[in-house]
Amino acid sequence: MKKPVTIILLAILLSACASSPSPVKPPLALTALSEATPVVERWNLQVGGGVDDLYLRLRPVFDGKQGFAIDYRGYLVAFDTATGNVRWERDLGADVAGALNLSEGLLLLGTSSGRVLALDPADGKPKWEAQVSSEVLALPVSDRGIVVARTVDGRLFALSASDGSQRWVYDRNVPVLTLRGTSAPVIKDGLVVAGLDSGKLVALTLDEGTVLWETTIAVPRGRSELERIVDIDADPVLVGELAYVATYQGRVACVDLASGRLIWVRDMSVHSGIAVDPYRVFVSDAEGRVWALDRYNGSVLWKQESLLRRALTGPALTSGYIVVGDFNGFVHWIKRDSGQIVARARVGEGDAAAEAKEERVEGEGKEALTPYSRSRNILAAPVVAGDDLFVYDRRGVLSAFRLAQQ
């Protein structure tokens, strides 16, 4: 199999913005919010070295009142969600690439050297590890005693949840040029649904890996390999009998799970993530627009454009709002029904180190004059657990936020 070449669009954007003059438009400056809802940063916790200079979408996972977070070198912590106090810590010495997942009594993660690790959530001790064909950037998922991991060379590996032994492998060629990232497979009712770098969505049986259908969401277009990238890097979302999926330089689509038939599509470029509530599909596109689409026909309900070119994360759903993070450490609460930004906070705001390179938030129409700090990047979508919103930035600062009105 030909090995793909990966690119990091965020790094290209930030390096271009740092030079002067540049043909690349800078990120849109933040404007002051009128009647902003106060946000309380309840606590923040330093988790090792974060992701350092790597483009890794690491984020915490939760089990009741306990959370787990890891850095790129395998420093794993279990913490109290109410206080941020560390309950235990373990140095795995692993080249972590894929985000943590907690499923069926196992903490699962992938590494850049092609290993899938299963850990005991009680103390972080390894239960088993399995070698797969290449780097595992997406979080492994599991159900019914089977762990499914996706590798960057286009394969899906099904492993026994008891000992890591291989059950089956699904293999597809990948394009020559792809984004730095892969979407995680999703398991539901014995069905594995996975987005591919070719712009296709595939459904397989969990037990045997039999392909049930394969649907093209976006077709590569353009003369150059760069123009032809149509990766599915946003995790598919399954709701009832429908799947919602988005591609880079392609489409957002609704797919019938039983047949793979496209129900509706809308042209859009997405690589960070999507979220779905009972009525709407929320999308952060590659240009920094946030969209609300009708879940049943794909029509546009609203569009928020005041965060253009701020390299937004995928959206997270919380009570009455969607929340996105940006490349400079800011977190934005947006009303689901109108698209209005009503609250804003910054990860690690109480840290003296965090205050060293502030972005000036100006009044309407004015530009930010201070430099942006790459170390403040928020790469993974925020995570909601209980009444709190948890955000993990590139430095490894994990913050717990709550709107003051809650």
Residue 9 has pLDDT above 80, yes or no: no
In a domain, 284, yes or no: no
In a domain, 203, yes or no: no
pLDDT score of 107: 97
In a domain, 338, yes or no: yes
Question: 172 falls in which pLDDT band (50, 70, 90)?
Answer: confident
pLDDT score of 251: 81
Residue 305 has pLDDT above 80, yes or no: yes
| For residues 381-386, average pLDDT | 95
- Taking only the tens place, the pLDDT of each residue in 91-147 is 999 999 988 999 999 999 999 999 999 999 999 999 999 999 999 989 999 999 999
Residue 12 has pLDDT above 90, yes or no: no
In a domain, 385, yes or no: yes
Q: Which residue has the higher pLDDT, 309 or 352?
A: 309
Query: In the predicted model, what is the mean pLDDT of the chain?
Result: 85
Residue 221 has pLDDT above 80, yes or no: no
- Taking only the tens place, the pLDDT of each residue in 237-293 is 999 999 999 887 778 999 999 999 999 999 888 878 899 999 999 999 989 999 999
In a domain, 400, yes or no: yes
Residue 188 has pLDDT above 70, yes or no: yes
pLDDT score of 222: 53
Question: 203 falls in which pLDDT band (50, 70, 90)?
Answer: very high
In a domain, 35, yes or no: yes
Q: Which residue has the higher pLDDT, 312 or 20?
A: 312
Q: Which residues contact 85 (CB under 8 A, 6 or more apart)?
A: 79
Residue 364 has pLDDT above 70, yes or no: no
What length does the chain have?
Answer: 406
pLDDT score of 23: 52
Residue 11 has pLDDT above 60, yes or no: no
Asked if 169 and 155 touch (Cβ cutoff 8 Å), the reply is yes
Q: Which of 268, 236, 263 is nearest to 250 (CA)?
A: 268
| For residues 188-212, average pLDDT | 92
pLDDT score of 350: 53
Number of domains in the chain: 1
pLDDT score of 149: 96
Residue 14 has pLDDT above 50, yes or no: no
Q: 106-110 and 75-80 as β-strands: parallel, antiparallel, unpaired?
A: unpaired
- Taking only the tens place, the pLDDT of each residue in 37-78 is 999 999 999 999 999 988 899 999 999 999 999 999 999 999
Residue 365 has pLDDT above 50, yes or no: no
Q: Which of 269, 345, 354 is nearest to 309 (CA)?
A: 269
Residue 10 has pLDDT above 50, yes or no: no
Q: Which residues span the domain enclosing 386? A: 31-65+319-406
In a domain, 376, yes or no: yes
Residue 175 has pLDDT above 50, yes or no: no
Residue 18 has pLDDT above 50, yes or no: no
- Taking only the tens place, the pLDDT of each residue in 138-161 is 999 999 999 999 998 889 999 999
Residue 404 has pLDDT above 80, yes or no: yes
In a domain, 174, yes or no: no
pLDDT score of 28: 93
pLDDT score of 174: 59
